[in-house]
Amino acid sequence: MSELDTNAAPKYENVDLRVGGERIPPGSRRRIEIPVARLFTGTWLSLPVWIVNGSQPGPSLFLDAAIHGDELNGMEIILRVLDRLRTDRLKGAVIAVPVVNVFGFVQKDRYLPDRRDLNRSFPGSTRGSTAARLAYLFMTEIVARCQYGIDFHTGSHDRSNLPQIRARLSDPETRRIAEAFAAPMIYEAKEIKGSLRGAARKRGVHTLVYEAGGPQRFDSDVIDTGVEGTLRVLHELGMIGSAPEPGASSFEAGKTRWLRAARSGILYLEAELGQRVKKDQLLGQVAPLFTGRRSQIHAPFSGLVIGATMTPLVHQGDALVHLARRA
């Protein structure tokens, strides 16, 4: 655990928070619903927001998950972190949105009903698509009130990720909280255009993305790692008094590469998430369904397995194993 350096942090004041038109005074906890859109049934769809405003001054941190509506690990991480926070002990505020893409969430779907990707729609606008409006609401109601943030994701489709932090490590303050999180892997990742992380950075909000596990399920190890890492960030920011000690130090990745299927067939994966592999090591094989030669997947360089497909049925060109080289 790095040493707590409150002298370097800006001075904060004890203030009422205003979210969704409601006032949340210091030392209080509220759950509010911000209306997002009326469905064609006439029912209002709303964004559930938890606000824990500590009794003492400190920074504000947002936590959000399910920007992709089928990514559930982050939701559980946030709910467990909220359980651990006490208003009388917290310095600063946590503004938490366990499910951002409420449209996708109810459909168990990654996207918005019009197939837009919410994480390509930031910072959004008041007159754009449903995705753009939801992004704008999130920026103005949540991100604008914070100095720090953690955005939780999982692998998409059939893929699962080793728990990892993606962030602008070249920014010292962002690196400080990324290292405090102490995920198994961290790496410098430029923001994707339209992503929440990119829009938050433009507002000067230091934001981490935690990518871990796969969609449509709870991965218990990944959830534990996420809860502990988030508590360590809160501790690093001086918001809570103690946090779990980290295990091994993070693997800092440089270049990463997805290894793809040379042919279609059944995948026999030998590599596991989190495994250290040597150059030329056999990572798996793809066997044709009926006859023919197996194709082998070898590591093009020594590194760490940080992502993998979870399905044994693959087409030529499908991404199979995500390998990271040490920075």
| Interacting residues with Zn ion (CB under 5 A) | 68, 71, 153
Measured from the CB of residue 126, what is the shortest distance to Zn ion in angstroms?
24
Closest residue by beta carbon to Zn ion: 153
- As measured in angstroms, the least distance from the Cβ of 127 to Zn ion is 26
Q: Supply the minimum distance, in Å, between the C-beta of residue 71 and Zn ion.
A: 5
Concatenated DSSP letters of 276-310: EE-TT-EEEEEE-SSSS--EEEE-SSSEEEEEEE-
- The span from the CA of 108 to the CA of 71, in Å, is 9
- Residue 33 sits at the vertex; the CA angle it makes with 28 and 37, to the nearest 5 degrees, is 160
Q: CB neighbours (10 Å) of residue 15?
A: 13
What is the C-alpha separation between 109 and 102, in angstroms, rounded?
Answer: 10
Nearer to Zn ion, 53 or 164 (CB): 164
Judge contact between 174 and 208, C-beta under 8 A.
Answer: yes
CB 260 → Zn ion: shortest distance, Å? 21
Min CB(208)–Zn ion separation in Å = 14
DSSP H stretches of helix in the chain: 73-84, 102-107, 130-141, 172-181, 196-202, 220-236
How far apart are alpha carbons 273 and 277 in whole angstroms? 11
What is the smallest separation between the CB atom of 132 and Zn ion, expressed in angstroms? Answer: 18
- Smallest distance, Å, CB 136 to Zn ion? 19
**For Zn ion, the closer CB: 58 or 215:** 215
Nearer to Zn ion, 71 or 179 (CB): 71
* Alpha-carbon gap, residue 171 to 179, rounded angstroms: 12
DSSP state for residue 240 in the 8-state scheme:
S
Bridge partners of 310? none
